[in-house]
Structure 1
Amino acid sequence: MAIHLPLNKLSIWQQVAFSAALLERMLPNYQLFAEHADFGNVKVLRNQLDLIWQWLDKANRCKINYQAQLTKLEAEVPNPEDFDFFGVFPALDCAMALMSLLQAMQEPSDDAFANVSKLSENSVSYYVELSLAQAIDDNNHHDEVIISPQQIAQHPLMQWEVATQNELFDFIKQARENKASCLQAKAMVLEEGLSNLGIEISA
């Protein structure tokens, strides 16, 4: 189930706000990975996301040195070949989504903004596929496990991801471009206290 939202119909501000809100749901996955892998400084990503929220506050807008931030971020991008557990993949998705957003802010591109939405969806899709495959494999040790797109689409986590992105898009497209809208968007996506993979967000 691919999510295809008409992000190019939004203003640059709206696209940045939409993407930043999605990243709030992805960042806890990176944090959990960093805690277990002894790799990655989640504070770098947290600070960059905070910078983006500050940029969105037109009354107190900050300037961002995009090249410096991208260079910092590159050092925090995990290589999946260096780790032997699933957590590296959603962490990589988070880092790449943040990189896409910074690049899109530096040089606006519909594809770069859409990439944040896709990476969030991909994290959930892959996690759901592995979870379903593991559950089936536990019961059928010798059969080849095939998970259909329909099974993934019907999983509660995937339905939640689709609903969240749609709800956020509907809010952002009519929201005023100010700090209050940012706070509301952030509150919407963090209301459950869970990442997009259902991981509890620690303070």
Structure 2
Amino acid sequence: MLDDTFLERLSQLSKRQQSLFCVAILQRMSPNYLLFCESTEFAGAEGFDKYLRLFWEALLYPKTKFNAPVHQERFQELIPDPEQFDSYGVYPALDCCVVAECLFASLSEATGEEAEQASQTSMGAVLGFLSLLHEEEDESKLLDEELVLEEQAFQRQLLDDLEHLVDNLDNLKELRNFALNQGVSNLGISLD
């Protein structure tokens, strides 16, 4: 797991850095949501992609008007109801929506805890997925799994990058490319 020092560093990020952390986590997790939509015919993929683009646009171009409360209200229709789906995929999709909610909060009524919440949601998604795959193993054994180690490495690198970020368009585009993670999600899912 990510230690207290990591969480302390996260809490010290500026509001803008917290938003960038959240959008990068969301970008990396997005194949989970999109695969859920594809496999269940849930009509959220197009809207989810639109919001992901809007989030990046708002952060890449700070003068862009982004009315977070209005968008957040509209986003609600993209949140799947787990009671209506039999597949496990609804839960990673919901985790994406939780991180999107963290991002909405960081862009409007930030508390300074949004990056930590996004971090823990993404790590929780990985551990939940591994628990499903390895029912007999206890959580301490899961912490050595490759997906957990990759998630930790991704989050640490993201935090390091944000702490040393020179906030200009080229560097922010590099951050977005890093978050794309070659199209592979935190669960190892790729749509390609």
Q: TM-score, normalised by structure 2?
A: 0.91
1:142-178 Cα shifts (integer Å, max 9, x gaps) = xxx3x22221110000110011000110011100122
Q: Distance in 2 between matches of 1:68 and 1:52?
A: 13
Contact kept in structure 2, 1:157 and 1:198, CA below 8 Å: yes
Match of 1:73 in 2: 75
CA RMSD in angstroms, aligned pairs only = 1.6
Contact kept in structure 2, 1:44 and 1:72, CA below 8 Å: no
Contact kept in structure 1, 2:80 and 2:93, CA below 8 Å: yes
Cα offset, 1:201, TM superposition: 3.8
Match of 1:170 in 2: 160
**Is residue 9 from structure 1 mapped to residue 12 from structure 2 by the alignment?**
yes
**Is residue 119 from structure 1 mapped to residue 109 from structure 2 by the alignment?**
no
Q: Aligned residues, how many?
A: 189
Match of 1:41 in 2: 44
- Partner of 2:22: helix, strand, or coil? helix
**Is residue 54 from structure 1 mapped to residue 44 from structure 2 by the alignment?**
no
Match of 2:29 in 1: 26
Unaligned runs of 5+ in 2: none
37-46 vs 118-127, greater mean Cα deviation: 37-46
Contact kept in structure 2, 1:13 and 1:177, CA below 8 Å: no
Q: Distance in 1 between matches of 2:141 and 2:182?
A: 24
12-21 vs 186-195, greater mean Cα deviation: 186-195
Contact kept in structure 2, 1:55 and 1:61, CA below 8 Å: yes
User: Following TM superposition, where does structure 1 have runs of at least 4 consecutive aligned residues deviating by more than 4 angstroms?
Assistant: none
Q: Distance in 1 between matches of 2:134 and 2:15?
A: 38
Unaligned runs of 5+ in 1: 134-144
Amino acid at match of 1:116: A
Structure whose alpha-carbon radius of gyration is higher: 1
